[in-house]
Amino acid sequence: MNKKLITAAALMCVLCCGCGNSIGSDSGATTVTAEQGSAQSGETTEPAPEETTTEETTTTTTVETTTLVSTSLGLEEETCEIINGCLVSDIGTPLVRAMEQFYYSDDVGEYFAETVDSFATAVGTDVNTWLMCIPSSQALYTPEDVRGDYSDQAESAKDQYDKLKVAKGVYVNDALEAHKAEYLYSRTDYHWQPLAAFYSAQVFAEQLGLDFADYTTYEKIDREGYLGAFYSVTGIDALAEYPDTFTYYKPANLDNCTFTYHDTYFNEGYEGSLFFEDLDIGSSYTIFVGSDSLILEVDTDVDNDRTLVIFKDSYGNALLPFLTSSFEKIYLCDPRFFDINSVDFCKQVGATDVLFAQGASSSTTYSKIELIEQSMNK
């Protein structure tokens, strides 16, 4: 692929990338994330179905094994092109995948690390502050012939963690790389699949030395015919023939947890459900939590005096179901919809741990990082 074409297309990608419940026009100084799904030779998969339908069907099964479906068929030749500002690979095959494009600069990495460290200093040494830079699928599946045209997400994450002086990094790239033949990322949407969030939450819990529920304890639910934002918002028609299966997981202790939704000022809330299963197939990623514009308080059946506050973009929503076995209380907050002082909030709720969980685009976009900085001064 012509490098000039990719560079020019990056400007278009700024208009269609984002990390909310829709693809926004937030243009940070130096970044846009990339998602892709090319085949890797030597990997195997179950045969593709003879027919693919977009009808809204949902099936429920109990997980019995950790051997999961591969999304790579081992095509003999990788193909990709730029469509509507996004990288699209393997058009016309069951592996067709759209991706945002990712670029990183040392300056934005320094700014993010300084911002998180400033929070860690302000909240005090009694609170552990963590940073998880969540990769997009482009980190795993970019075709080799164009991989050199983009920043390496694994190296970018390491660089950001190395810049931290007070907070600590949670490096999940290797864990996801080890499972990249599995269904980790949607091909038609810029979000990860909940399975990738499971592996990342596992890394986090293990790094903290906390209990973590085994994969086999979750109830697995498939939603067939999912066409995400790359199709519905960005208009990449090449995805229509091969929609995703969106798979989410219910923790075994779900009925023992209480979920309270507060407004962005953390006023008195109302009790609700973690999963919004009546949403249509096209809104599948919002099936857990339902909206970014609320503060969610979770009381679990864990008894370990650990309270976690997560400041996240929409990637972070998928982490929550997998952390209910590790923390006694969890608060899920989005800096885009947070109207109180973040440091005071963490002290008020008795946080023992704070996790900044940001997708690759948010982690390298000035305007997204500024929201974290601004929340400390409200």
Per-residue tens of pLDDT for the chain, all 378 residues = 443 333 333 333 333 334 443 333 333 333 333 333 333 333 333 333 333 333 443 333 333 333 344 454 444 455 789 999 999 999 999 999 999 999 999 999 999 999 999 999 999 999 999 999 999 999 999 999 999 999 999 999 999 999 999 999 999 999 999 999 999 999 999 999 999 999 999 999 999 999 999 999 999 999 999 999 999 999 999 999 999 999 999 999 999 999 999 999 999 999 999 999 999 999 999 999 988 999 999 999 999 999 999 999 999 999 999 999 999 999 999 999 999 999 999 999 999 999 999 999 999 999 999 999 999 999
**pLDDT score of 115:** 98
**What pLDDT, on the 0 to 100 scale, is given for residue 80?**
86
Question: What is the per-residue pLDDT for 52?
Answer: 37
- Which pTM does this prediction carry? 0.82
pLDDT at 37: 34
For 122, counting Cβ atoms within 10 Å of its Cβ (0-12 exposed, 13-18 middle, 19+ buried), the class is: middle
Question: What is residue 79's predicted lDDT score, i.e. its pLDDT?
Answer: 76
Q: How far is CA 285 from the centre of its chain?
A: 10
Contact yes or no for 171/206 (Cβ under 8 A): no
Q: What is the DSSP string of 311-350?
A: EE-GGGGGGGGGSTTT-SEEEEE-GGG--S-HHHHHHHTT
Give the domain range for residue 323.
Answer: 3-375
- For residue 218, the model assigns a pLDDT of 98
Number of domains in the chain: 1
Within 153-289, residue ranges assigned H as helices are 153-163, 173-178, 194-208, 229-232
> Could you tell me the CA-to-CA distances from 212 to 194, 204, 291, 323, 374 in Å, in that order?
16, 10, 26, 7, 33
Residue 77 has what pLDDT?
53
CA separation for the pair 63, 290 (Å, rounded): 24
Beta strands at 219-226 and 244-250: parallel, antiparallel or unpaired: antiparallel
Name all contacts of 171-180 with Cβ < 8 Å and 24+ positions apart.
Answer: 171/203, 172/132, 172/134, 172/135, 172/199, 172/200, 172/203, 172/204, 173/135, 173/139, 175/199, 175/200, 175/202, 175/203, 176/135, 176/139, 176/140, 176/200, 177/140, 179/68, 180/40, 180/72, 180/140, 180/141
Residue 3, helix vs strand vs coil: helix
Element (DSSP H or E) covering residue 108: helix 106-123
Q: How far apart are CA 276 and CA 287, in angstroms?
A: 5
Collapsing DSSP states into helix, strand and coil, what is residue 60?
strand
Side-chain half-sphere CA neighbours of 343 within 13 A: 17
